[in-house]
Structure 1
Amino acid sequence: MLTIHAADEVRTGRDAPPIEDGAVAVEGNLIAAVGPLEAVRERFPLARVRSWPGVLEPGRLHEGLLPDAPSPRERIHAVLKSGAVAILAQYAGSPELRAAADRNDVLVVSGPVPSVLVESGRADLAVFDETGACIATVCAGRLVHRRR
């Protein structure tokens, strides 16, 4: 199902200029379009629209130890709640952690990777409020965290 994630502001990359009233269309695990909401809605008029307050940007890389939690699944979920969609391999050494990451489509990488929102790229994105707190995380096209 095609979903449009709309936000007050969309940043396609760390240093990219903001797109006011922007949107990212997601189909499966890929980005179908990025741009102003009106243009994206015009292109995909039947898509479901999720509107988020705040700034939508590429999902982040969790660069340190994974948060403490009772289980590997909960440790990965804590990472997703922070807006991260990737973890460093050096901190995911156990088979249980790697399996939990894999089940949630969290990337396990050896070092920093460029994170940008581009058409046909993997749909990894996060939305942050004015305090910097994560409101929502989409990992490989799936909404995996939503703050209530």
Structure 2
Amino acid sequence: MPAQLAVGASLVLMSAVLAVGASRFPAEKGFTVLGAHVYPYAVAVFLGIVGVSISLQAAGLRSPADVSDGITGAIPGGKAGALWVTAGLTICALLIAHIGFVLAAALLFACSAQGFGSRHPARNLAIGIALALPVYWLFTIGLGVSLPPLVNAWI
């Protein structure tokens, strides 16, 4: 699949460009626990892994993972999927100041997973919380970036 191979190669290239850019960040930490270069490097590594994986799959050297657990057999998406993802983005934007970053991001993840075919909303919400908590801690503690609190009262 040439298109899939092009996507994989593009992700690897973006990973390399991001890593070069991150190498130019100053190494001093300043008032944060981690330096500013840590997060771009982490994203570069993630993009590189995904790009290599997609490229290997496109070249036929790796078979697609079995994703039948909780995912419908049809290709996800369409109008219903787009509506779920759009609803998640809208909910997140409207409620982040009221319910906090973690819950808003978890709702976004759950709605997006629903839009991509998952039929386990409670599990998706739990996964969303599990993914959002470390992000919240890394940004607030690691970088000193102020995100909306874990839970914000409706005052």
Taking structure 2 as the reference length, the TM-score comes to 0.24
Structure scoring higher RCO (CA < 8 A, sep ≥ 6) equals: 1
Q: TM-score, normalised by structure 1?
A: 0.25
Structure number with greater Rg is 2
Query: Which structure shows the higher strand fraction?
Result: 1
